């Protein structure tokens, strides 16, 4: 069979040259590399974002355990405790999405034995007469996690170094062999000191025990006669106070440093800053107040300082005493009865001079105290 010659003017296309093929493959490699790098960056950032949310949940769970069930976990049971609080598997608490183990650290300065469950004893308890329980130390905790390499040994790095570390940087002394960026290290801080409230109980009855109870205690407790107890309890704790027959007298929720006094078979709130309780000569407090350094000079204080406040307070006490000797008479009308609704005391001209003087002294105490605190 005879082979036909190619048509005139028609050319057979040539293939890629080696140089063109190499150029195409290089461009493809660059595009694939860029796409892969972008995906890797997004993956790492996604792991960091998820870990941020997870550590926030762990910190909230620990705070919730302290506030709700009055419990602080130790390094041996923190995983089980927080898994129960967050209703998740323990493996989700102990390790992150990258498969790295999380670390739970306790301030070595802590003076509370962990795990801690609140009882009537409280923290930093003191029963010495006139003493005040010092705030509990070391209620600081850390969660550490890495979304890159596993966490290295932290034996050479102090707790305070980690606590004070600036976010986005590696702590001083961090091993250089660790493969990861500063953003891959996440530190979450939990400070429970703000949840602790000081409770002071004073029993001024010499021969009667004062019965009380704190939630979490298995039974009522008795404070002996002429004694005092000072300790720290979690915010929101219920303080149950009983009369000398054991019946519930009153119940309070701890929301601030507070004290209560037992006398004549009953309790009454008595706020104090020094734990001395009632019946103490105010001269001690006044002397301590006058001995403190005066506030820095400011023209708008109008000369108010400790001495001015004490002087005005003394004037108020004297004027109040004179008003009491006058039978607490408010109106200048001698026929006044005990029904305040029958008299208009808003008119200074109709007010009793001693009542009016007492009110004026009271207002001066308020004004001088406010100016001294500017």
Kindly state whether residues 252 and 127 are assigned to the same domain. Answer: no
Tell me whether residue 9 is in a domain: no
Q: Is residue 154 part of a domain?
A: yes
Residue 118 near residue 235 (C-beta atoms within 8 A)? no
| Whether residue 286 sits in one domain with residue 261 | no
Per-residue pLDDT band for 274 (boundaries 50, 70, 90) equals: very low
Task: Provide the edge-to-edge strand list for the sheet that holds 123-126.
Answer: 123-126, 227-234, 196-203, 258-263, 266-269
Q: Are residues 39 and 188 in the same domain?
A: yes
In terms of Cα–Cα distance, which of 197, 204, 220, 219 is closest to 268?
A: 204
Angstrom distance (rounded) from CA 62 to CA 68: 10
pLDDT tier at 283, thresholds 50, 70, 90: low
Check whether residue 128 and residue 24 sit in a common domain.
yes
Look up residue 76 and give its two tokens. Answer: 């041996």
- Residue 103: pLDDT over 60: yes
Q: What is the dihedral of CA 75, 80, 81, 83, to 10 degrees?
A: 130
Domain contains 12:
no
57 & 142 share domain: yes
- Other residues' Cβ atoms within 10 Å of the Cβ of residue 57: 17
pLDDT at 348 over 70: no
Counted domains in the chain:
3
Same domain flag for 42 and 189: yes
- Read off the pLDDT of residues 160-178 as tens digits, 9 standing for 90 and up: 999 999 998 999 999 989 9
Pairing of strands 196-203, 123-126: unpaired
pLDDT at 13 over 60: no
Residues 190, 54, single domain; the answer is yes
Q: What is the mean pLDDT of residues 268-285?
A: 51
Domain identity same for 296 and 260? no
| Res 277: pLDDT | 42
CATH number at residue 260: 2.60.40
Q: Express each pLDDT in 183-218 by its tens digit.
A: 999 999 999 999 999 999 999 888 899 999 998 677
Nearest-5° Cα angle at 287, 286 to 293: 100
Assigned domain for 166 exists: yes
Between 76 and 205, whose confidence is greater? Answer: 76
User: Is the pLDDT reported for residue 67 higher than 70?
Assistant: yes
Place of tokens 């404070």: 223
Length of the chain: 374
Query: Is residue 231 assigned to a domain?
Result: yes
Domain-located, residue 176: no
Do the domain assignments include residue 365? Answer: yes
Q: What pLDDT sits at residue 339?
A: 45
Asked whether residue 250 falls in the same domain as residue 286, the answer is no
Q: Which domain holds residue 31?
A: 18-170+182-194
Upper half-sphere CA count for residue 96 (Cβ side, 13 Å): 32
Residues 124 and 52 in one domain: yes
Mean pLDDT of 213-242: 91
In the predicted structure, residue 33 carries a pLDDT above the cut 70: no
Per the listing, tokens 């570390």 go with 165
pLDDT of residue 341: 46
45 and 148 in a single domain? The answer is yes
Q: How far apart are CA 179 and CA 116, in angstroms?
A: 37
Q: Per the omega criterion (within 30 degrees of 0), is the bond before 115 cis?
A: yes
Residues 83 and 226 reside in one and the same domain: no
More confident residue, 332 or 191: 191
Q: Pick the range with the lowest mean pLDDT from 13-22, 134-143, 237-246, 320-329.
A: 13-22
**Residue 11 belongs to some domain of the structure:** no
Q: CB–CB of 265/244 below 8 Å?
A: yes
Is the per-residue pLDDT at 76 higher than 80? Answer: yes
Amino acid 131: pLDDT? 77
Of 321 and 141, the one with more pLDDT: 141
Q: What is the DSSP string of 267-290?
A: EEE---SSS--TT--HHHHHHHHH
And the tokens for 67?
């506030």
Q: What is the pLDDT of residue 239?
A: 94
pLDDT exceeds cutoff 50 at 280: no
Is 336 exposed, middle or buried, given 0-12, 13-18 or 19+ CB atoms closer than 10 A?
A: middle
């Amino acid at each position: 069979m005879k082979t036909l010659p190619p048509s005139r003017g028609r050319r057979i296309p040539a293939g890629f040259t080696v140089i063109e093929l190499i150029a195409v493959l290089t461009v493809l490699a660059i595009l694939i590399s860029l796409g892969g790098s972008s995906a890797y960056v997004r993956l790492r950032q996604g792991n960091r974002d998820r870990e941020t949310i997870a550590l926030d949940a762990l910190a909230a769970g620990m705070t919730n355990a302290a506030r709700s069930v009055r419990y602080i976990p130790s390094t041996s049971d923190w995983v089980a405790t927080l898994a129960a609080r967050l209703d998740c598997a323990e493996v989700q608490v102990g390790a992150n999405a990258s498969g790295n183990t999380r670390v739970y650290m306790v301030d070595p300065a802590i003076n509370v034995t962990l795990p801690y469950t609140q009882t009537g004893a409280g923290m930093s308890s003191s029963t010495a007469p006139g003493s005040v329980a010092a705030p509990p130390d070391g209620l600081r905790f850390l969660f550490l996690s890495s979304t890159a390499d596993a966490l290295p040994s932290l034996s050479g790095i102090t707790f305070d170094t980690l606590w004070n570390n600036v976010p986005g940087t590696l702590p001083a002394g961090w091993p250089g062999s660790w493969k990861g960026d500063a953003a891959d290290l996440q530190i979450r801080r939990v400070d429970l000191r703000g949840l602790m409230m000081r409770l002071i109980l004073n029993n001024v009855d010499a021969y009667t025990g004062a019965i009380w109870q704190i939630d979490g205690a298995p039974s009522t407790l008795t404070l002996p006669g002429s004694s005092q107890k000072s300790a720290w309890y979690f915010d929101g704790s219920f303080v149950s106070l009983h009369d000398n027959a054991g019946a519930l007298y009153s119940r309070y929720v701890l929301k601030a440093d507070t004290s209560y006094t037992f006398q004549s078979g009953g309790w009454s709130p008595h706020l104090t800053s020094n734990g001395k309780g009632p019946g103490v000569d105010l001269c001690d407090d006044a002397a301590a107040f006058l001995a403190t350094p005066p506030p820095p000079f400011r023209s708008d204080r109008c000369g108010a300082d400790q001495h001015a406040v004490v002087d005005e307070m003394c004037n108020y006490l004297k004027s109040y005493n004179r008003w009491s000797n006058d039978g607490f008479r408010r109106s200048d009308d001698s026929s006044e009865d005990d029904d305040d609704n029958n008299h208009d005391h808003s008119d200074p001209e109709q007010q009793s001079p001693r009542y009016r003087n007492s009110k004026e002294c009271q207002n001066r105490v308020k004004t001088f105290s406010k100016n001294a605190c500017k």
